[in-house]
Amino acid sequence: MATFSLCMIVKNEEKVLARCLDSICDLMDEIIIVDTGSGDRTKEIAGRYTDRVYDFEWTGSFSDARNFSFSLAGCDYIYCADADEVLDGENREKLRILKETILPQVEIVQMYYGNQLCHGTVYNFDRELRPRLFKRLRTFEWIEPVHETVRLLPVVFDSDIEITHMPEKSHTSRDLQIFERIIAGGERLSKRLANMYAKELLISGETESLKRAETYFTYVADGGETEEEQMKEAVCVVVRAARLRGDYLKMYRYAMKDIAGDGVSEVCFELGEYYFGRQEYEEAAVWFYNAAYETQSILNARRGGDMAILRLADCYEAMGIAEQAEDYRAQAAAWRLPE
C-alpha cells in the first residue's frame, strides 16, 4: 500500500482547518503544515494533528510556500490540500481504496474540485478535475521499441474522487493584490496567469480593480506579437474598464478590435450596457442578443448566458413589450453554466 504525505500551506485558517483535517487525517501517513504568518489560532489547531508545523516567511508567491512544503515530505505520494476543503464520507472511502490500489506508474492523480462557485473568483464551472496527488520521486523509463526515448510526460490518472470546496469568504481581493504587485514589479504575466487575472476581474473584480488593471491590459491588447486569444481577453478587460470610467471613445476603439473578427460575448455585453445607459433600448437589445446567442464567452460564461438574457428582458420591458420580456426572463432562469 502506498504512503501519503499531506502538505498544506495555511494562514489565519482557525475557522476551517480542523474541519479539513478531520476529514482526511486518518488517511495520511504524515501531516506537514506550513504557516505563512497566521495571527490567530491556526498553528495551535494544526499542532493537535501533527508536530510537523513549520513557519515560512511569506515571499508573495504561493508557489514558493508550496515548494517548501513539498520539500519536507517523505512518503510515496504527496496529497495537496487547502484548509477550506473537505472530503465527505463517500469520497474518503474512494481515497482509501485509491491508496490501497494505486499503481506505482501513476505520477499524478486528478480529483474533482466541487462547489467552486461558492465565493468563486475565476470559475465558470462548479466542478472540474484538478491535480491533487503527486508522486514524490519520479522514475524515468525508456519507451518505444526503436528510436527509444525517455518518457517525459507524467502518467496522470483521472479519479472520480470529489473534494468539496467550502470557503468562508472570497479570496478575490487577495488574488488581485498579488497580480497588481507582480505587474508593479515590471513583470509580464504568463499566458496562464494573464487569463486568470482577466477572469477574476470579469467575474468578481470591482470597478477600482478594473481601472487599475486597464493600463496593463491595454499594453497587452496593443502588443504586436500578442496571440489572438490573449488579445481578446485583454480587450474584454479594457472595454469594460473604459466604459466604467466613461471613456466611450476608448471603449469603442478596443471593442472594434474584437467585433471586426469573431466577437466575444463579454464585449457585446459591454456595448449593450453602454446603449442601455443611454436609454437606446433597441440598440442595447441587439448587443445583448449578440452576447447571448451569436457569440461565445471566453472569461465570464454568464455574460454570454443568464446575465445577457436578463438584460434583454430589461430592454424589452423598457420598450413596453412585456410578453417578450417575460419570455427572456424564463430563459434566463432556465440557463445553467456549462458542465
d(CA 9, CA 137): 21
Is residue 156 pLDDT above 70, yes or no? yes
From residue 311, how far is each of 245, 278, 290 by CA, in Å? 21, 14, 12
pLDDT at site 313: 97
DSSP code per residue over 196-240: HHHHHHHHH--HHHHHHHHHHHHHHHH-TT--HHHHHHHHHHHHH
Per-residue pLDDT tens digits for 256-282: 988 877 899 999 999 999 999 999 999
* 4-165 and 262-339 share one fold: no
Q: Which three cell numbers stand for residue 51?
A: 508536530
Per-residue pLDDT tens digits for 229-250: 999 999 999 999 999 999 999 9
Percentages helix, strand, coil for the chain, rounded to the nearest 5? 50, 15, 35
pLDDT at site 96: 97
Is residue 328 pLDDT above 80, yes or no? yes
d(CA 29, CA 128): 27
d(CA 302, CA 132): 28
Helix (H, G, I), strand (E, B) or coil at 193: helix
d(CA 281, CA 271): 12
- CA angle 13–14–16, rounded 5-degree value: 70
Strands 149-150 and 142-143: antiparallel
Helix (H, G, I), strand (E, B) or coil at 158: strand
Amino acid present at 135: K
Per-residue pLDDT tens digits for 43-84: 999 999 999 999 999 998 889 999 999 999 999 999 999 999
Instruction: Answer with the residue of higher pLDDT: 171 or 200.
Output: 200
Q: Name the CATH topology of 262-339.
A: 1.25.40
Residue 319 — pLDDT band, cuts 50, 70, 90?
Answer: very high
Which CATH number is associated with domain 4-165? Answer: 3.90.550.10
Taking residues 323-329, report their average pLDDT: 96
Residue 37 — pLDDT band, cuts 50, 70, 90?
Answer: very high
d(CA 161, CA 113): 9
Is residue 121 pLDDT above 60, yes or no? no
Domain residue limits, the chain: 4-165, 171-238, 262-339
